[in-house]
A and B are shown apart, each in its own frame.
Chain A
Amino acid sequence: MSANLTLILTASFLCGTGVYLILERSLTRVLVGLLMLGNGVHLLFMVASGPAGDPPIIGSTPTEDMSDPLPQAMVLTAIVIALGTTAFLLAMAHRSWQLNGHDDVQDDDEDAAIRLLAQADEASDSHDLFQGQTADDPGDEDTFEEEGSTP
């Protein structure tokens, strides 16, 4: 099977640009990146479908000259799905802008907390609590002794 070099080069350029943009923090740029990546993948499907040919309508052209209709149908489906997802992601970027005044992807609270604790060389809060003491404060060990006692 001979592949179309132009299609492959365009697809790889689109995918590369897309991946670069996805690494950005702003959701709008991520969205543009996802779109470019998606388009690159759709082009890749055209490569997979083999050489271009005549419309696949029985009776109009000999079967050998027809192009393969199946990958085209799949790409159409994928494009429709990409359209829906894009609309949703745009709505989310808009909502994020409404709420925060920007659309940057934010750090996770709990992750940030754990990272801070790790930097401060602490174990997790819950660990400290279960031990009834803090890592910095080995003194009061009797906090959890009264577990069974009722107030």
Chain B
Amino acid sequence: MSDVSMSTLVPLPVVLTLLGAGATLMLSRRPQAQRFVTITILAAVAVIAAVLMVQADSNGPQVLWLGGWASPLGIALVADRLSALMLLVSAVVTLMVLLYSLGQRMTGEEAGAPLSIYHPTFLVLVAGVSNAFLAGDLFNLFVAFEMLLFASYVLLTLGGTEARIRAGTIYVVVNMLSSSLFLISLAAVYSATGSLNFAQLAVRLGEIPDGTALMLQLLLLTTFAIKAAIFPLSFWLPDSYPTAPAPVTAVFAGLLTKVGVYAILRIQTLLFPDSPLSGLLMWAALATMVVGILGAIAQSDIKRMLSFTLVSHIGYMVFGIGLATGAGFSGAIFYVAHHITIQTALFLVVGLIERRAGSTGLIRIGGLARLSPLLAILFFVPAMNLAGIPPMSGFIGKVGLLQAGLEVGTPLSYTLVAAGAVTSLLTLYAVAKTWGLAFWRTPEQAHEMMRALPGLEDDLDENQHRHGFVIHRQHVHVAGTAFGTRELDEARRVVDVDAPDRDLHQRLRDGSLPSRLPLGMVVPTAALIGFSLALTLVAGPLYGYTDRAAHALLERTPYISSVLGSDS
């Protein structure tokens, strides 16, 4: 009896959030009530996810057939160990991000943003993410992706400024393309097997010719690789994420790519075990890690630097999946949980930096450590965690993955272990560089160095003529925009009017910067960082949990038999 009541909890993370989205839309003129509804629902989802996690761990996967249709006909929602863990982490992260965005908005910045649609859209996003984690068939997964993507389109272009429209264009077009690819894969899977249910597919895909199965797997993997931003399909991410408002970037960076990783993990384990494409995934992981982190080092803006580390660290999770061993899957799951919290926390901190220093460009800012020691600590802890400094969860996750790689012991896995270690070091370099420029140097040094930029007027003109930049500018000028690469424009301003009022050094003097960080933004950030540190404290039990989850994924029978009934 208790089993029945527990499995009715399974659809609640989706249903509650969608109902909440409707309710907050109706309450759009009463911000207080909106806030109350959203926070209550997100907290409830977190609690439900925790209960589901305990249930899935002790009683096996929780299954609910929507609408009460008999076993193979209806739409199944399944919460196994993996789904429940993802659900819990995403619920905690989204709750913190929402609190943060409330803190940001209450102080009156972005007064022009359409506040009333923020809450409903955010809830639809959470509903989509939860549905993706719970989906028991491919088509439901597709609908979940569309839900979260649609919400993300709106959130990304919130306010409709020029930069956001530009970033949104790329994001929307890329995702519509990948959705078309997803539909093509669905049609192919359906015509080959006559089903889209994960559990049924797990049985039937074994019965079709190997070549056909390989094609289906390639189609699905390509689709999810675009969503997860795996190199070479990661080009869209650093272009589109950094322009959004800080909380939006944070939740995108934390969750959306991980939904893609989750989907890859699910199909690799359940639908295509012993797949011949594991080697391909490992190569992709290698390229993602190395190219991503090299991109991060080249950036001169903290948001973009973090977007590239995000791409790079997706490579770690794909590495774990590509190993196709229990230890590899376990490491990947742990790393996903770690990375969702840490990447979100870092983007929230960047939002604070933007608030305090007025910019996230490394050229402009400096001396933040002295200006705001609290901010320095808030950045330092997750940054070191991201780089994998012991004893934090980033270190534990990386060690788990590297050990899994060594256990497999093929030349390719050794290469990946080496690449993983190098990526970790380069991540440390990238965040240390950010630390050195933004926090450690004095504002005076920042000012001096900005004046010493390699973009003095003479050089600039010469460069323009030499490299056809003039044509570029004219083209855009005809079109009527004030386009210019930001760096060169900044350099120009420095040279032309010496614009001392535009940089930190001077703004500190005349006090035009906000002198305090809003508590409503600091507390959720600190809470999320605390949560990431708590992952370190419970790393032992958590790793045990991910081990059990990974073994259930490898066995496959718990999932299949709980969905289809024990007779099959």
Query: Does A92 lie within 8 Å of B139, measured CB to CB?
Result: no
Q: Is B25 an interface residue (CB 8 A)?
A: no
Shortest distance from the beta carbon of B296 to any chain A beta carbon, whole Å? 11
Which single residue of chain B is at the shortest CB-CB distance from A35? B176
Other-chain residue from B160, B300, B463 in contact with A126 (beta carbon distance below 8 A): B300
**Chain-A contact segment, one of B87-95, B263-271, B476-484:** B476-484
Max chain A Cβ within 10 angstroms of own Cβ: one of B188, B300, B452: B300
A136 proximal to B (CB < 8 A): yes
Residues of chain B within 8 A of A110, CB atoms compared: 299-301, 304, 485-486
Which A residues are in CB contact (< 8 Å) with B300? 110, 124-126, 129
A47 x B187 contact (CB < 8 A): yes
The answer to whether B452 and A85 have CB atoms under 8 Å apart is no
Which residue of B169, B184, B301 is within 8 Å of A92 (Cβ)?
B169
Write the A81-116 contact mask toward B (1 if CB under 8 angstroms, else 0): 100110011001001100111101110111111101
Determine if B363 is an interface residue (Cβ-Cβ < 8 Å): yes
Which residue in chain B gives the minimum CB-CB distance to A124?
B298
A22 contacts which chain B residues (CB < 8 A)? 173, 177
CB atoms of B169 and A134 under 8 A apart: no
With contact pairs A34-B173, A100-B479, A105-B169 given, residues A143 and B452 touching in the complex (Cβ less than 8 Å): yes
A71 interfacial by beta-carbon distance below 8 Å? yes
Chain B 439-451 per-residue mask, 1 if CB under 8 angstroms from chain A, else 0: 0111011001100
> In the assembly, what is the distance between CA of A77 and CA of B143, in Å?
8
Q: Does A60 make an interface contact (CB < 8 A)?
A: no
- In the complex the two chains form, is B362's CB within 8 Å of A81's CB? no
Find out whether the CB atom of B180 lies under 8 angstroms from the CB atom of A38.
yes
A147 to B435, CA, bound (A): 13
* Interface members, chain B 303-319 (any A CB < 8 Å): 304
Q: Per-position contact with B for A107-151: 1 when CB-CB < 8 Å, else 0?
A: 011111110110110101111111011111100100110110011
| Residues on B with beta carbons closer than 8 Å to the beta carbon of A100 | 162, 479-481
Tell whether, in the assembled complex, residue B463 and residue A116 are in contact, meaning their CB atoms are under 8 Å apart. Answer: yes
Are B441 and A147 within 8 A (Cβ)?
Answer: yes
Residue pair B191, A109 in contact (C-beta under 8 Å): no
Please give, as numbers and ranges, the residues of chain B lying within 8 Å of A47 by CB-CB distance: 187, 191
Q: Kindly identify, within residues 68 to 127 of chain B, every residue whose CB is under 8 Å from any CB belonging to chain A.
A: none
Task: Evaluate contact between A44 and B187: CB separation under 8 angstroms.
Answer: yes
Interface residues of B in 411-444 (CB under 8 A from A): 433, 436-437, 440-442, 444
Q: Interface code B235-250, partner A: CB below 8 Å = 1, 0 otherwise?
A: 0000100000000000
A105 to B449, CA, bound (A): 34
* Binary contact track B269-281/A, C-beta < 8 Å → 1, others 0: 0000000000000
Q: Are the C-beta atoms of A116 and B454 separated by less than 8 Å?
A: no
Q: In whole angstroms, what is the CA distance A45 to B488 when docked?
A: 50
Given the known inter-chain contacts A101-B480, A125-B300, A132-B449, please indicate yes or no for A84 contacting B486, CB distance below 8 A. Answer: no
Whether A71 lies near B187 (C-beta < 8 A) is yes
Candidates A78, A102, A125; contact of B487 at CB < 8 Å: A125
A92 and B180 in contact (CB under 8 A), knowing A81-B146, A126-B433? no
Report Cα–Cα, A146/B459, bound state, in Å. Answer: 28
> Can you name the residue of chain A whose Cβ is closest to the Cβ of B367?
A151
Contact call A44/B165, Cβ cutoff below 8 A: no
CB of B467 closer than 8 Å to a CB of A: yes
Given A48-B191, A100-B480; A127-B298 close (CB under 8 Å): yes
**B150 touching A88, Cβ below 8 Å:** yes
Partner of A125, one of B153, B190, B436, B453: B453
By the criterion CB–CB under 8 Å, are A106 and B191 in contact?
Answer: no
- Give CA–CA (A84, B160) in the complex, Å: 18
Tally A-B pairs: CB < 8 A: 178
For residue A41, CB closer than 8 A to chain B, the reply is yes
A106 to B484, CA, bound (A): 11
The verdict on A74 contacting chain B, using a C-beta distance below 8 Å, is yes
CB-nearest residue of chain B to A85: B176
B353 to chain A, nearest CB (A): 15
Whether, in the assembled complex, A1 has its beta carbon less than 8 Å from a beta carbon of chain B, the answer is yes
Interchain CB contact (< 8 A) of B454 among A49, A101, A128, A144: A128
User: Would A99 and B162 count as touching, CB distance under 8 A?
Assistant: yes
Q: For residue B483, which residues in chain A have a CB less than 8 angstroms away from its CB?
A: 106, 109
Interface flag for B23 (CB, 8 Å): no
Q: Are A84 and B479 in contact (CB under 8 A)?
A: no
Q: Is B18 an interface residue (CB 8 A)?
A: no
Among B250-291, those with CB < 8 Å from A are none
Measured CA separation A81–B146 after assembly (Å): 7
Cβ of B16 within 8 Å of any chain A Cβ, yes or no, is: no
A129 to B449, CA, bound (A): 7
Q: In the assembled complex, how far is the CB of residue B186 from the closest CB belonging to chain A, in whole angstroms?
A: 7
Asked whether B363 lies within 8 Å of A88 as measured between CB atoms, the reply is no
Shortest CB distance A61–B (Å): 20
Q: A96-B169, A104-B479, A151-B444 are in contact. Are A113 and B184 (CB under 8 A)?
A: no
Contact with B along A29-40 (1 / 0, CB 8 A): 010001001100
The answer to whether A108 and B169 touch (CB under 8 A), given A113-B486, A143-B449, is: no
Residue of A nearest to B157 (CB): A92
Q: How far is it, in angstroms, between the C-alpha of A146 and the C-alpha of B239 when the chains are bound?
A: 36
Asked if B180 and A30 sit within 8 Å, CB to CB, the answer is no
Which residue on A lies nearest to B366, using beta carbons? Answer: A129
Asked if B166 CB lies within 8 Å of chain A CBs, one says yes
CB neighbours (8 Å) of B61 from chain A are: none
* 17 further contact pairs, Cβ within 8 A, besides A37-B177, A47-B187, A120-B466: A41-B183, A48-B188, A71-B190, A81-B150, A99-B162, A99-B165, A113-B486, A116-B485, A119-B463, A125-B454, A126-B362, A135-B454, A137-B452, A137-B454, A144-B441, A147-B440, A147-B441
Using CB atoms and an 8 Å cutoff, list the residues of chain A in contact with chain B.
1, 22, 27, 30, 34, 37-38, 41-42, 44-45, 47-50, 70-71, 74, 77-78, 81, 84-85, 88-89, 92, 95-96, 99-102, 104-106, 108-114, 116-117, 119-120, 122, 124-130, 132-137, 140, 143-144, 146-147, 150-151
Interchain Cβ contacts under 8 Å between A and B, 6 examples: A38-B183, A92-B172, A113-B488, A120-B466, A143-B452, A150-B442
